[in-house]
Structure 1
Amino acid sequence: MQGIVIKSTGSWYSVRLENEKQVDARIQGKFRIKGIKTTNPVAVGDIVTLKETEENYVITDIQDRKNYVIRKSVNLSKRSHIIAANIDQALLIVTLSHPTTYTGFIDRFLITAEAYHIPTIIVFNKIDIYTEAEKEKLTKLMAIYTKIGYKCVAISALKEANIEELKTIMKDKTSVVSGHSGVGKSTLLNCIEPKLKLKTSEISESHSQGKHTTTFAEMYELNFGGFIIDTPGVKAFGLIDFDKNELSHYFLEMRALLNECHFNNCQHINEPKCAIKAAVSTGEIEEFRYNNYISMYTDDEEENYRDKGY
């Protein structure tokens, strides 16, 4: 029998069977010794084959994934953690205050999603609490990312502003929701699907950060069609198994100019006659995007927490 993994708790997996029955299952031992370089051999969204034993259900096989999104694992003995698999689109929840999501984090997420062929919609939440300066910043960022090619939506999950627009985007698709802790993912999901009644928490006043209310990734069915995957709050996205020579290919505005560089192997840092650096100097490519490219190229993870320009 086959099913889709809707929740992973590390040792047990909740699987939704083709007849919509939900069962708990373990993985067959061999998955643990396949040399997989991730902390979790099975992820939410995986299509799996199961067999029923006298004691429980056992996952015996995993279908090839069409895509997945990963983050660096907190377990240093492994290289990465698969957040979710077989995704139609990612919703990156961003807030300009309480807490602040910096473009360093946004761009790392976008580049990771681009590398794994996952379209991303940038969802700016909490617009009901923004100051005039933050509203101005919101307008500029939305214009910049829209010009690059990303769909942007400004919402307030708390006040239910522009939620219908977001529902239209999510209808009949499998969407993964990600972002820092405290950006309002659980509040948003409760707004979109009130029956979920997900736990939410207050923002820490001392650090302007959210507390983790989602411990494991979990998939939910939407009453208007489609599925949503809620993920734990992510502090940072590390670039895993990236070839630095291909990093610029995942910046959409750079990709269009790569053939115009004088050198075929141009890395757009110190080389002369570089089309990318020329585009930055004329404003065709935003300076903060180029700075984020440099920080990724040099693996400066601190750029997740501070910005140059935005």
Structure 2
Amino acid sequence: MIVTKSTGSWYTVFDMGSGEEFRCRLRGALRLEGRRSTNPVVVGDEVVVEKTAESDYLITSILPRKNYLIRRSTNLSRESHIIAANIDYIYIIVSAEQPRTNPEFIDRVLVTCEAYKIPATIVVNKSDIDSGEEFREIYELAGYEVINTSVKTGEGIEELSSRLRGGLSLLTGNSGVGKSSVINAIDPSIGARVGNISHYHRKGMHTTTFSEIFRLSNGGFIIDTPGIKGFGLVDLDNDELARYFPDLSRYAPECGYYNCTHIHEPDCAVMQAFAEGKISESRYESYLKMLDDDGKHRK
């Protein structure tokens, strides 16, 4: 069984075998076990559910996760917030204009994807406004795939829909990049379902406030996440950060010092590659900012 929706108090659990859904509460002990995170159970979790004597359903245990997407929580009483678990692929939705996505945000998500071994692709949406060649140059140089989409012209929608067939994919990005519009263009039935829910609760136009899994008409599963403003790193030490930048790590073995920080050391192959244009300025600056801004949170 897989958790498809979490509101904090109640969880929707989907039985892949029977196709049934169950509205569940969480066993008290599991809430305590999740004390280092704001959310002990997340969408994508595979769980064990038991029926109580009162005919309620309880999540009694969580099966081991193969991976998860995690960020530093804005809640100071907790260390981290897990967005989703057991993800097969992540698509980072960005836009070059209206609004422009900060490359550092993209890099932070990518570092976490690398750390937890989740394949990721950058999707430049609103390509009818700006095709995002700057993003393409930066991230193809780093070794990532970049594709374009436009709900207005239809560019890339069919390709992205095809990629989402089978498996569990997560779409994430800042508010305003058009993520929900892309999802609705891929499968309009999702928009209809969300609209009905919003109308029922009289909440007006839908704005994603928590992660939720939707089953696509093509057979895949997609995780829709709330728009994310910031993405603080957790559980990563400064001395291992560079290995999660593929464009830095491919040159690091050639450095003169095995513990090179790639900031000031002589015979640094990473700094040399940067000077030769083999590493983009944007990516190298993101690396330096993460060392400086996040280091104190990861110690």
TM-score, structure 2 normalization = 0.91
User: 1:244-274: CA deviations, max 9, x gaps?
Assistant: 1000000001111111111110001121111
Q: 1:65 to 1:35 in 2, by over 3 A?
A: closer
What residue in structure 1 maps to residue 98 of structure 2? Answer: 98
Q: Which runs of 5+ in 1 are unaligned?
A: 200-210, 302-310
What residue in structure 2 maps to residue 156 of structure 1? Answer: 150
- Any idea what SS the aligned residue of 2:128 has? helix
- Any idea what SS the aligned residue of 1:146 has? helix
Residues 167, 192 of structure 1: 8 Å contact kept: yes
What residue in structure 2 maps to residue 6 of structure 1? Answer: 4
What residue in structure 2 maps to residue 122 of structure 1? Answer: 122
The CA distance in 2 between the partners of 1:72 and 1:179, in whole Å, is 16
**In structure 1, what residue type is equivalent to 2:68?**
Y
Tell me how far 1:300 sits from its aligned partner: 6.1
What residue in structure 2 maps to residue 110 of structure 1? Answer: 110
* Greater Cα shift, 117-126 or 66-75: 66-75
Tell me how far 1:98 sits from its aligned partner: 1.4
**Are positions 1:74 and 2:74 aligned together?**
yes
**In structure 2, what residue type is equivalent to 1:178?**
T
- Any idea what SS the aligned residue of 1:128 has? coil
Residues 66, 86 of structure 1: 8 Å contact kept: yes
- Any idea what SS the aligned residue of 1:229 has? strand
Instruction: Pick the aligned partner of 1:214 from 201, 208, 226.
Output: 208
Q: 1:39 to 1:125 in 2, by over 3 A?
A: same
Tell me how far 1:15 sits from its aligned partner: 0.3
The CA distance in 2 between the partners of 1:149 and 1:222, in whole Å, is 29
The CA distance in 2 between the partners of 1:162 and 1:256, in whole Å, is 30
- Any idea what SS the aligned residue of 1:299 has? helix
Number of residue pairs matched by the alignment? 282
Residues 124, 154 of structure 1: 8 Å contact kept: yes
What is the percent sequence identity of the aligned residues? 48
The CA distance in 2 between the partners of 1:294 and 1:212, in whole Å, is 38
The CA distance in 1 between the partners of 2:167 and 2:151, in whole Å, is 20
Residues 181, 212 of structure 1: 8 Å contact kept: no
Tell me how far 1:287 sits from its aligned partner: 1.4
What residue in structure 1 maps to residue 224 of structure 2? Answer: 230
Listed as ranges, the matches of 1:252-291 within 5 Å are 252-291=246-285
Instruction: Pick the aligned partner of 2:233 from 224, 239, 244.
Output: 239
Residues 95, 177 of structure 2: 8 Å contact kept: yes
* Greater Cα shift, 138-147 or 50-59: 138-147
**In structure 2, what residue type is equivalent to 1:275?**
A
TM-score, structure 1 normalization = 0.87
**In structure 2, what residue type is equivalent to 1:165?**
E
**In structure 1, what residue type is equivalent to 2:188?**
P
**Are positions 1:31 and 2:25 aligned together?**
no
Q: 1:39 to 1:300 in 2, by over 3 A?
A: closer
The CA distance in 1 between the partners of 2:26 and 2:273, in whole Å, is 50
Residues 24, 59 of structure 2: 8 Å contact kept: yes
- Any idea what SS the aligned residue of 1:44 has? coil
Tell me how far 1:72 sits from its aligned partner: 2.0
Tell me how far 1:212 sits from its aligned partner: 8.3
The CA distance in 1 between the partners of 2:249 and 2:43, in whole Å, is 31
The CA distance in 1 between the partners of 2:34 and 2:153, in whole Å, is 47
Residues 126, 149 of structure 2: 8 Å contact kept: yes
Q: Which runs of 5+ in 2 are unaligned?
A: 196-204
- Any idea what SS the aligned residue of 1:266 has? coil
**In structure 2, what residue type is equivalent to 1:111?**
V
Residues 154, 162 of structure 1: 8 Å contact kept: yes
The CA distance in 2 between the partners of 1:264 and 1:290, in whole Å, is 19
The CA distance in 2 between the partners of 1:46 and 1:149, in whole Å, is 30
Residues 6, 13 of structure 1: 8 Å contact kept: yes
The CA distance in 1 between the partners of 2:166 and 2:32, in whole Å, is 36
RMSD: 1.6
- Any idea what SS the aligned residue of 2:273 has? helix
Tell me how far 1:149 sits from its aligned partner: 1.9
Tell me how far 1:14 sits from its aligned partner: 0.3
**In structure 2, what residue type is equivalent to 1:79?**
E
